[in-house]
Amino acid sequence: MANESMPSENRDAPVAARVQCPFCEIVAGRLPAAVVYEDDDVLAFRDIAPRAPVHVLVIPRRHLVSVMDLRDEEALLLARIFSAIREVARREGVAERGFRVVSNAGRDGGQTVGHLHLHVLGGRFMTWPPG
């Protein structure tokens, strides 16, 4: 399922080279997803195996592997991702009560899909620390 081995140099690879990435497939419209927000740079859709009443994944349309793939040049993209997160929180009704934003990176971080994504979790009290 996940393609954690996809090198970050593949970020600008043609679509044909990225067919193994499920989130690129969702961006391309070849894999269905329950989209809750989208703009030119960012897509947000419901997690297929939700861990909370609200569990939305916010991703850049462009393939980046993880937080480790972000460069200073991605500052605007990062701002747009967080702008999308605020909009998702409003649309999902958790903006006032609160929610959690998580991005797992790499093996020890528990990342299972090698396309940068931020989990937006809410609708229940989130315990700390995470497992």
Binding interface with Zn ion (CB under 5 A): 21, 23-24, 63, 115
Q: Does 94 bind ligand 5GP (CB under 6 A)?
A: no
Question: Which C-beta is closer to ligand 5GP: that of 32 or that of 93?
Answer: 32
The answer to whether 20 and 6 have CB atoms below 8 angstroms apart is: yes
Q: How many residues bind ligand 5GP (CB under 6 A)?
A: 14
- Report how far residue 60's alpha carbon sits from residue 39's, in angstroms, rounded to the nearest whole number: 10
User: How many of the other CB atoms lie within 10 Å of CB of 112?
Assistant: 10
Phi, psi of 60 (to 5 degrees): -75, 145
Helices (H), 9-74: 22-28
Question: Which C-beta is closer to Zn ion: that of 65 or that of 94?
Answer: 65
Which of 55, 63, 115, 117 is the catalytic position? 117
- Report how far residue 19's alpha carbon sits from residue 39's, in angstroms, rounded to the nearest whole number: 22
And the tokens for 33? 């997803």
Question: Which C-beta is closer to ligand 5GP: that of 71 or that of 107?
Answer: 107
Taking the complex as a whole, how short is the minimal distance between the CB of residue 80 and ligand 5GP, in angstroms?
20
The answer to whether 126 and 55 have CB atoms below 8 angstroms apart is: no
80 makes contact, choosing from Zn ion, ligand 5GP, none, with CB < 5 to 8 Å by partner type, with none
Give catalytic status of residue 119 as yes or no.
no
| String of contacts with ligand 5GP for each residue 36-75, x by CB under 6 A | ---------xxxxx-------x------------------
* Residues annotated as catalytic (active site), given as ranges: 117
